[in-house]
Every structure is written in C-alpha cells, then in structure tokens.
Amino acid sequence: MESAQPSLSLVRRARRIHRELAVIHPDAHCELNFRSPYELLVATVLSAQTTDVRVNSVTPELFARFPDAWALAQATETQVEDIIRPTGFFRAKARSLIGIGQALVEHHQGEVPARLEDLVALPGVGRKTANVVLGDAFGVPGITVDTHVGRLVRRWQWTTQEDPVAVEREIAQLFPRKEWTMLSHRIIFHGRRVCHARRPACGVCPLTALCPSSRVGEQDPLRAEKLVKGPEELLERLTQPIHE
C-alpha cells in the first residue's frame, strides 16, 4: 500500500529543519574510513551494533589481510573473526563477510554492484547498508534509516512508522532525491551529537521551535550544553539564531 502524500505544511517544516541541520552540521559525512566501494561495504556490515570508531580500529588490518573480494572469499571464518572480534557479533559478521566475498566473485566479477537490488541480495546486506554504499561510494542518492534517523524523524513527526523500509519510503516523499544522502548524514550527526536517545540536549538545540518533541530532553541550557558531543565549534553553531 502506498503512503498518503504528506501535507504541504509537513514538507515545509521538514525542509526547514534540513536547512538548519546543514548549518548546524556542515561537517556531516560518512564516518567510516574507506577507499573503495568494497571497503565501505565491508565496514558498513561491521558497523551493525557497534560504533564507527570501533570499526575504523579493525578495518586497517582487515583490509591489509583481505584487500579485495577475491581474498575475502578465500578467508576462513577464524581468520576474519580474530580481526573483527572487537566489533561484536563477530561470528555472524565473519560468515556474512566471507559470503559477501564469495557472492561478489561468483556473480559480480569481484566488484561491488551499484544497484540496490544487487546489493540487498548479498549475505548480511539490507537496505540500510545498501543505501550507505550507494550514496557514499557511488553517488546514488539513498536514505539510510539507522537508529538515529528513525528516532529523530519520529520525534520531528515526519513519520509514525517503526519499520525502516516504511520510514524510508515516507521520508523520501518530503525531500528531493538529490538531498537524500546528505539528509541522512546530517540527521545521524544530530542524533549522535545533540538529540540523544535517553537525554537529548533540547535546551541548546536550535530546532526546538520546529520540533514537536522539544520538551522531552534537558531544558536547562547550561546542563544541556554538557550533553552535547562534538567539536567546540558545534556549541557555537548551536547558539546561533534559527535561520528564516
């Protein structure tokens, strides 16, 4: 069933929030380190249930040992597990990574495909991973619905959906396709730095006038400042008046 078309007021409010996010987080980007579509695919699979920092700590050794799909396809689970153990769920991830290497060799001549339907057919690859790879490795716009994006778009009442695919479909209706990838990065940065799951820093967030959930977090500006994570210049940007 297709989603109902969003109201004009919702579209305007959502796009205004995105404009503000661009000012608040001009440095938004994929925080996984990679040099090729293969490396980004592997890193994104490893990022499930852990931090990008943790992934970046293990991928240099992993890529030195298995620099391409051909090498990964011939790895043993124990070899991969020993390297990726710090990322958690390392046994399942190792199986997925080796399966990805084998599938890439068997079906794609060892290259990462640039089509969503081909990516999601790989072992352990869902739409979230596929959209990360498409957006950041191939420049194909996609909306990445991770835990941060899902939390924030529901707080902003852009959607009431819980299913990531339904969330992706509804958010896509609010923005031009060309904005999807950077929209995802900016929401993720805001979720990691300001709009936290347990105690968002509402008291210093410039989006409070646009946010239906602006009363859920810390209201005192001084206490809210201490909740903000990120570079010092982020606090300076947070204190600027909202742009019309």
Catalytic member of 52, 68, 118, 128: 128
The answer on 47 and 21 residing in a single domain is: no
Looking at the chain, the whole-number percentage of residues with pLDDT higher than 90 is 93
Q: Does pTM top 0.75 for this prediction? A: yes
The answer to whether residue 244 is domain-embedded is no
Domain tally for the chain? 2
- SS3 of 84-144: the string is HHHHCCHHHHHHHHHHHHHHHHHHHCCCCCCCHHHHCCCCCCCHHHHHHHHHHHCCCCCCC
**Is 27 one of the catalytic residues?**
no
Size of the chain, expressed as the number of residues it contains: 244
If one counts every other C-beta atom within 10 angstroms of the C-beta of residue 64, the result is 9
pLDDT band for position 244 (cuts 50, 70, 90): low
- Give the N- to C-terminal CA distance of the chain in Å, as an integer: 36
Q: Which of 77, 102, 137 is the last residue of a domain?
A: 137
Determine the Cα–Cα distance for residues 23 and 91; give it in Å rounded to an integer.
41
Whether 187 maps to a domain, the answer reads yes
Answer yes or no: do 80 and 44 share one domain: yes
Examine the domain organization and report whether 133 and 60 are in the same domain: yes
pLDDT tens for 206-239 read: 999 999 999 999 999 999 999 999 998 998 899 8
Range of the structural domain that residue 22 is part of: 8-27+145-238
118, 151: one domain = no
What's the CATH number where 219 sits? 1.10.1670.10
**Looking at 137, 154, 186, which one is the last position of a domain?**
137
Residue 95 located in a structural domain: yes
Q: Is 229 a catalytic residue?
A: no
Question: Please, is 131 exposed, middle or buried when counting C-beta atoms within 10 Å of its C-beta (0-12, 13-18, 19+)?
Answer: buried
pLDDT at residue 197, rounded to an integer: 96
Nearest C-alpha neighbor of 47 from the set 189, 167, 147, 172: 147
Q: Are residues 131 and 164 in the same domain?
A: no
Last residue of a domain, one of 108, 137, 166: 137
pLDDT tens digits along 52-100: 999 999 999 999 999 999 999 999 999 999 999 999 999 999 999 999 9
Say which amino acid occupies 122: L
Query: Are 198 and 107 part of one and the same domain?
Result: no
Q: Which of 27, 52, 68, 146 is catalytic?
A: 146
Q: Is the pLDDT of residue 184 over 70?
A: yes
